[in-house]
């Protein structure tokens, strides 16, 4: 009877801890549910991605497994964004909700898995809580485009749980296949998980106790057991290298620079874990200072020596190697972007450091007279401070202006932040302020084609077509074959009545991206002006195939059909345009004029 009572009490304690973790996550990140998208990758991932906006389709499913132009191969992440659009459309609330739910589930699963592996209830709870609410998590959870972090983290913890179940029970093919499948789903979410087989080997060493270095040949069967997992990791690496990210102006980074930056970044992440101040997005490549690299290398060496000096405490070795090993894909030795480091890269690697800190502190305090009280007070204080800091960090993401102004306040020479702030200001109609941001960005990085493109757009809004054309052409000289730039250059040329040159630009954009609806519409408009009505109708139809709910394109197609004498279909186009945009006076006038023409 006492055993049953004890078990019931233990279960309710676990349930209460899970509820507390969930409440803490929502206390920190719940405010983000009222935020919108940001103008940094969210456009590419969601609100300007026509394939994602269509929701779950068979064409979208095939696209998710073959598309790599954004620089990453993560088909499951694409499918999750499509499902969000299916459920919520472009209501950012739902997209933020999905990120928040995945992060909450991952934090709770981490607690349950750690407790299952180690039997340590409160240490596991503390690790999961710090993981859940640390300010370094903000970028991964609040940024819709970082769905890949929270989704891969969810499958990471599920894989750990499945592995523990496989190890702690009699051999079973079903349990092993479950581990492999969950790992595969994690890789399909983000290839950061390629080091997970290495993490499983660490867990074999501690706390699972399957690996005994003193026992000859104890490693070999564990390595053989994980061959399918290593093969999946190799396949994911191969897929990633097939879709390398376009690194604008940083593809010259020598290996020595990348190695030095990796050493410094390891220490920066340690510093940010302890003192999470000045966090921002993104951190761009600085000029490395030799003394920083030297001090960082010495610090890492000292910590590593200390770790292996106390290797009898296996959790210290496991925690440190977890951090070092899991960071390798994103530490910058293999160059995948122009960032020197990023907060989101710590999402899973720092769990190892939390384990190291929690277990070491608990062991140190175990012999103290008031050790338990010290642990309770210090743990509660740390959690309270982290919640406060994380809530403040989340608040910077409430809109584009606050995000980029904060980034500029805590970083130096951040040309990307100037560019994104300028883009936001331009969208709000603050053209002069936007152009000031673009000029500041170009002063830092004069050969950035994205900034030149945005500056061209600002001039276009002012009707200064000559300057717009000049900036678009400069952007294309630096980075040729950009469909967006070609499309806007064509529009500017058409505004100056240089229709033949405009057609060349639109056709070049469509050659690069055949499903570019705006280029189809613009090309069709110019062809209409040139009285090439058959070709205009074809391109208007293509534009509608890609974006079927656009009332302006329906109206444009109706105009072209009228010129061809296809009045019945033209009337249907005007009616559909009115249905999509009720009360529009221009469309209504066109429909009335067409009705009068048919009557006569």
Q: Which helix (H) or strand (E) holds 359?
A: helix 350-365
Q: Which helix (H) or strand (E) holds 270?
A: helix 255-274
Q: Please state, in angstroms and rounded to a whole number, the distance separating the CA atoms of residues 527 and 499.
A: 9
3-state secondary structure of 127: helix
Q: Please state, in angstroms and rounded to a whole number, the distance separating the CA atoms of residues 124 and 132.
A: 12
User: Rounded to two decimals, what is the model's pTM?
Assistant: 0.90
Q: Is 335 exposed, middle or buried (0-12, 13-18, 19+ CB in 10 A)?
A: middle
Alpha helices in 275-313 (DSSP H): 290-309
pLDDT score of 214? 76
- Encoded tokens for 454: 């945005």
For tokens 């699972």, the residue is 208
pLDDT score of 68? 73
User: Dmax over Cα atoms in the chain, in whole Å?
Assistant: 102
DSSP state of 341: E
Q: Please state, in angstroms and rounded to a whole number, the distance separating the CA atoms of residues 407 and 278.
A: 8
In the chain, the domains with their CATH numbers are 2-395 (no CATH), 418-480 (1.25.40.10)
Q: Which residues pair with 341 in a beta bridge?
A: 283
Using alpha carbons, select from 534, 489, 529 the residue that is nearest to residue 508.
489
Q: Please state, in angstroms and rounded to a whole number, the distance separating the CA atoms of residues 34 and 94.
A: 10
Using alpha carbons, select from 483, 378, 503 the residue that is nearest to residue 69.
483
Give the residue ranges of the chain where pLDDT is below 50.
1, 244-251
For tokens 């941001």, the residue is 437
Q: Please state, in angstroms and rounded to a whole number, the distance separating the CA atoms of residues 590 and 593.
A: 5
Q: Please state, in angstroms and rounded to a whole number, the distance separating the CA atoms of residues 205 and 212.
A: 7
Q: Contact at 8 Å (CB) between 182 and 165? A: no
DSSP state of 285: P
**Cα-based torsion angle of the residue sequence 339, 340, 343, 349 in order, rounded to the nearest 10 degrees:** 120
CA distances from 293 to 109, 267, 288, 338 (A): 37, 9, 7, 19
Q: Please state, in angstroms and rounded to a whole number, the distance separating the CA atoms of residues 520 and 506.
A: 8
Q: Contact at 8 Å (CB) between 25 and 383? A: no
Q: Which helix (H) or strand (E) holds 533?
A: helix 533-546
pLDDT tens profile 443-492 = 999 999 999 999 999 999 999 999 999 999 999 999 999 999 999 999 99
3-state secondary structure of 411: coil
Q: Please state, in angstroms and rounded to a whole number, the distance separating the CA atoms of residues 417 and 405.
A: 8
């Amino acid at each position: 009877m006492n055993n049953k009572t004890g078990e019931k009490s233990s279960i309710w304690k676990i349930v209460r801890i899970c509820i507390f973790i969930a409440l803490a996550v929502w206390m920190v990140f719940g405010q983000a549910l009222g935020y919108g998208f940001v103008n940094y990758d969210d456009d590419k991932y969601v609100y300007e991605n026509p394939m994602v906006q269509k929701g779950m389709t068979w064409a979208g499913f095939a696209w998710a497994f073959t598309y790599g132009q954004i620089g990453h191969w993560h088909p499951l992440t694409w499918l999750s964004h499509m499902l969000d659009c299916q459920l919520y459309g472009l209501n950012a609330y739902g997209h933020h909700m999905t990120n928040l739910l995945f992060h909450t589930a991952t934090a709770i699963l981490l607690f349950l898995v750690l407790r299952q592996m180690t039997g340590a209830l409160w240490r596991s709870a503390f690790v999961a809580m710090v993981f859940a609410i640390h300010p370094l998590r903000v970028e991964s959870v609040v940024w819709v485009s970082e769905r890949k972090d929270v989704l891969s983290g969810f499958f990471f913890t599920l894989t750990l749980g499945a592995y523990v179940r496989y190890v702690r029970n009699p051999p079973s093919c079903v349990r092993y296949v479950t581990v492999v499948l969950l790992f595969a789903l994690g890789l399909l979410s983000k290839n950061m998980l390629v080091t997970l087989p290495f993490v499983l080997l660490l867990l074999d060493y501690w706390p699972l106790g399957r690996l005994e270095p003193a026992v000859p040949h104890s490693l070999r069967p564990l390595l053989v057991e994980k061959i399918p997992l290593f093969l999946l990791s190799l396949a994911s690496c191969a897929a990633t290298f097939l879709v390398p990210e376009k690194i604008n102006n940083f593809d010259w980074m020598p290996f020595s620079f990348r190695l030095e930056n990796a050493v410094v970044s390891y220490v920066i992440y340690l510093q940010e874990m302890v003192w999470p101040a000045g966090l921002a997005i993104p951190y761009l490549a600085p000029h490395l200072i030799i003394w920083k690299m030297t001090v960082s290398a010495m610090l890492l060496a000292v910590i590593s020596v200390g770790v292996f000096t106390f290797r009898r405490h296996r959790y210290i070795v496991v925690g440190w190697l977890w951090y070092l090993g899991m960071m390798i894909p994103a530490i910058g030795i293999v160059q995948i972007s122009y960032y020197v480091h990023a907060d989101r890269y710590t999402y899973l690697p720092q769990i190892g450091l939390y384990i190291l800190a929690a277990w070491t502190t608990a062991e140190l305090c175990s012999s103290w007279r008031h050790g338990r009280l010290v642990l309770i007070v210090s743990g509660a204080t740390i959690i309270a401070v982290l919640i406060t800091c994380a809530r403040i960090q989340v608040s910077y993401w409430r809109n584009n202006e606050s995000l980029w102004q904060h980034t500029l306040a805590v970083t130096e020479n951040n040309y990307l932040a100037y560019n994104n702030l300028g883009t936001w200001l331009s969208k709000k109609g603050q053209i002069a302020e936007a152009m000031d941001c673009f000029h500041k960005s170009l002063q830092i990085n004069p050969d950035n084609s994205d900034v030149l493109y945005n500056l061209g757009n600002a001039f276009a809004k002012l009707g200064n077509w000559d300057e717009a054309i000049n900036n678009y052409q400069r952007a294309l000289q630096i980075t040729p074959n950009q469909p967006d730039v070609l499309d806007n250059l064509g529009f500017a040329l058409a505004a100056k009545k240089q229709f033949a040159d405009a057609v060349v630009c639109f056709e070049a954009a469509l050659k690069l991206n055949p499903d570019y609806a705006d280029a189809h519409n613009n090309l069709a408009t110019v062809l209409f002006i040139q009285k090439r009505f058959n070709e205009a109708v074809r391109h208007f139809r293509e534009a509608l195939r890609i974006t079927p709910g656009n009332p302006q394109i329906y109206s444009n197609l109706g105009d072209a059909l009228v010129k061809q004498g296809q009045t019945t279909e033209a009337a249907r186009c005007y009616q559909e345009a009115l249905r999509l945009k009720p009360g529009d006076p221009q469309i209504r006038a066109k429909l009335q004029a067409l009705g009068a023409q048919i009557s006569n």
